[in-house]
A and B are shown apart, each in its own frame.
Chain A
Amino acid sequence: EIQLQESGPGLVKPSQSLSLTCSVTGYTITSGYDWSWIRKFPGNKMEWMGYISYSGSTNYNPSLKSRISITRDTSKNQFFLQLNSVTTEDTATYYCARSRTIAAYFDYWGQGVMVTVSS
């Protein structure tokens, strides 16, 4: 069974960097698919942030392009999110998810991790 699990600090100070890890079990992230980060803001709005593909290429939402980096550790079957210069507007629940390279629908999701940006 494919499972994704997010981990990372639940509280980040403004201007600092937010760093999250997605651990994948049941599927090797280099075998196929794209591996995304998605966030849901208070009030329900959802935003796709970007992905790292099975080959290691990345694609980011232009709204975040200057602040975001998605990387991976293939030996641990994990991928990572780093979001720089956070503000209170980055407070959200962050999800990692798997999507098909073609059609790009998200068929497996992590449970999500709530991150609050506050001093």
Chain B
Amino acid sequence: DTVLTQSPALAVSPGERVSISCRASEGVNSYMHWYQQKPGQQPKLLIYKASNLASGVPARFSGSGSGTDFTLTIDPVEADDTATYFCQQSWNDPYTFGAGTKLELK
């Protein structure tokens, strides 16, 4: 299976820019997607196919990358962005998820 590696946690101040990385153990083309999950809620799609903003998602969120290295950027970070962010690939079967990066605000 394709293993997706994410940093466990990040802490940033409101107004700053934050980049969350996801590295795949093998190439996934551009088929990397990003989700936000808050406690007690279901995951919410933010970015699909590496760089496409999902409907209704603020333009503060952006995605980049291809192949094995991908980044989710939030600029500027707001207090409401406190959450866990997951990457997911769908190029290789089975679909797999990263372990999540917990974003905390200082």
Contacts and interface: CB of A to CB of B under 8 A. Distances in A.
Q: Which of A59, A95, A99 has the most CB of B within 10 A?
A: A99
Nearest to B98: A46
A105 B86 CA distance: 12
Interface residues of B, number: 23
A105 B94 contact: no
A45 B3 CA distance: 12
Interface stretch (B15-23, B43-51, B74-82): B43-51
A105 B42 contact: no
Given A63-B94, A103-B48, 15 more contacts: A45-B97, A46-B97, A46-B100, A48-B96, A62-B94, A95-B42, A95-B43, A99-B90, A103-B33, A104-B31, A104-B95, A105-B90, A107-B45, A107-B48, A109-B42
A27 interface: no
Interface in A91-110: 95, 99, 103-107, 109-110
B12 interface: no
A56 to B, nearest CB: 19
Interface string B28-55: 0001010100000111110011000010
B1 to A, nearest CB: 8
Contacts of B62: none
Contacts of A45: 97, 99
28 contacts: A44-B84, A44-B99, A44-B100, A45-B97, A45-B99, A46-B86, A46-B88, A46-B100, A47-B97, A48-B94, A48-B95, A48-B97, A59-B93, A61-B94, A62-B94, A63-B94, A95-B42, A103-B48, A103-B49, A104-B31, A104-B95, A105-B45, A105-B49, A106-B35, A106-B45, A106-B88, A109-B42, A109-B44
